[in-house]
Structure 1
Amino acid sequence: MGALSGVVVLIALGLVAWFTPLLSVRTVQVDGLAAVPEQQVLDALQVPDGLSMMRLDTNAMAERVSHLPKVRSVRVQRVFPSTVQVTVVERTPVLYFDSPEGAHLLDCDSVEFAIEPPGPGVPKLITDHPDGSDAVTKAAVAVMAAIPLPLRDQVGVGAVVARSVSDIALELRDGRTVLWGGTVDSARKAAVVGPLLSQPGKVFDVSSPNLVTVK
């Protein structure tokens, strides 16, 4: 009898939690936004007024927000008693390329997520057929993504010239050139290029990171 009473109590508590206004959504907190307007996220979430926290489909909400072009990833969580916590990771440009429509921004996954001015410090991609699905474009993006952000700021990449997947060069804003080669050993190349650029020269070849040259 005691066990049955316990089950009845649990069912009753579950029903209360499911339907009671005490556990309804009162606050939606969105973190991680810089370029995406908060109202766009709230509109995509589609949180019904007064809905019980227990009835939220957080996966469906996250899926809707993830379709916003500038959203790379999103997590939606319940924070009891009444808050929906949304954590957004935005797409940020690592390269852009020009077209008649404007500047196409590419993130570290080679996703074209916006056509708008790239902002200061974003290098221009120079290649024959720039496109997020193009192999040469993807290789250029992979090279930039392999360079840590502090090093990118330090060396000041103005443009990435990609003639093929194995012939990629970085044109620095001060007029120097780094011959990168392909994406193989990019981590090693990123490790050696910083110290190498402290030497005098115009052309720095790290395409073979174990045998770098300066001209």
Structure 2
Amino acid sequence: MSRTGRTTADRERGAPVEVARPARRRRDTPRDRRRRRLLGAAAALAVLALAGWALWASPLLSVRTVRVDGATTLTAEQVRTAAGVAEGTPLLRVDVEAAEARVARLPQVASVQVARGWPGSVVVTVVERRPVAVVTDAGTRSLVDAGGVLFDTVTGDPPAGVVPLDVPSPAPDDPATRAALGALVALPGEVRAQVAGAVATTGEDVTLSLADGTVVVWGAGTDAEDKAAALVALLDQVASGALEPAATIDVSAPDAVVLR
């Protein structure tokens, strides 16, 4: 007998051979297809729900650190306190605009940006106001930035390079304040360091006093760059001995400077 189960006699008589056929595959019905679609949709919803939970409520993507960049006079803790972002808050739930608004209320801050740092930090980047002058208003000495904003008080000596400014009503929209600050900002650092004080009663009569006693009549706040260039050139000539020192340098008309 062979391995197929047929005897030699069977083969000789030509007996029919039974061939094993593969099982017929069950036809895919509309109901099956509908079931698969439902299962796929359920799986997709489960994935979306898991992702939503991970972003909105999971401690895996929550605030672990609040980093502060750009602070110099302010401490990082002062900025973090103002931002009010609590550790453990899911990053997606951090209201960055509200945090920016809170930090912007600090007088020393000129601008601020709050950003999420995935997977677990918030970054607060501040640009602090830079003092240009110091004014006395209602008995209080305050630092003033280039825009005329009074943003901090001082009791001792002001920072290096900060010029005492005498104006009647220091404020960002005050013409005298704007004109005087425009003059100081236009001067290069080495010349501004020689300015001992600035005075203006209106936006048309700015006067600078240098440390050596020289009085600079600046005049109006217009043409500040040209006036600064003329003053620098004259001071260089005086320093080199090409010109005799003058008690007063009038650069109110930069094309026709007068020395007295």
2:67 aligned residue? 29
Q: Bigger CA drift: 91-100 or 33-42? A: 91-100
Higher Cα radius of gyration: 2
1:68 matched to 2:106: yes
Identical aligned residues as a percent: 38
CA-atom RMSD, angstroms?
2.4
Picking from 112, 119, 125, the partner of 1:81 is 119
Larger relative contact order (Cα-Cα within 8 Å, sequence gap ≥ 6) = 1
Unpaired runs of at least 5, structure 2: 1-36, 239-244
**TM, length-normalised to structure 2:** 0.73
2:225 aligned residue? 187
Say how many residue pairs are matched: 212
What displacement does 1:148 show? Answer: 4.1
Which structure features the higher share of strand residues? 1
1:176 aligned residue? 214
1:123 aligned residue? 163
Q: What are the residue-to-residue correspondences of 1:6-155 with 2, within 5 Å?
A: 8=45, 9-10=47-48, 12-99=50-137, 101-117=139-155, 118-127=158-167, 129-132=168-171, 133-153=173-193
2:249 aligned residue? 204
Task: Report the 3-state secondary structure (helix = DSSP H, G, I; strand = E; otherwise coil) of the residue aligned with 1:81.
Answer: coil
Could you say if the C-alpha distance between residues 151 and 54 of structure 1 is closer, same or farther in structure 2, counting changes exceeding 3 Å?
farther
Q: 1:160–1:171: 8 Å Cα contact kept in structure 2? A: yes
Q: 2:65–2:87: 8 Å Cα contact kept in structure 1? A: no
Task: Report the 3-state secondary structure (helix = DSSP H, G, I; strand = E; otherwise coil) of the residue aligned with 2:237.
Answer: coil
Aligned-partner residue type, residue 101 of structure 1: G
What displacement does 1:137 show? Answer: 2.0
Unpaired runs of at least 5, structure 1: none
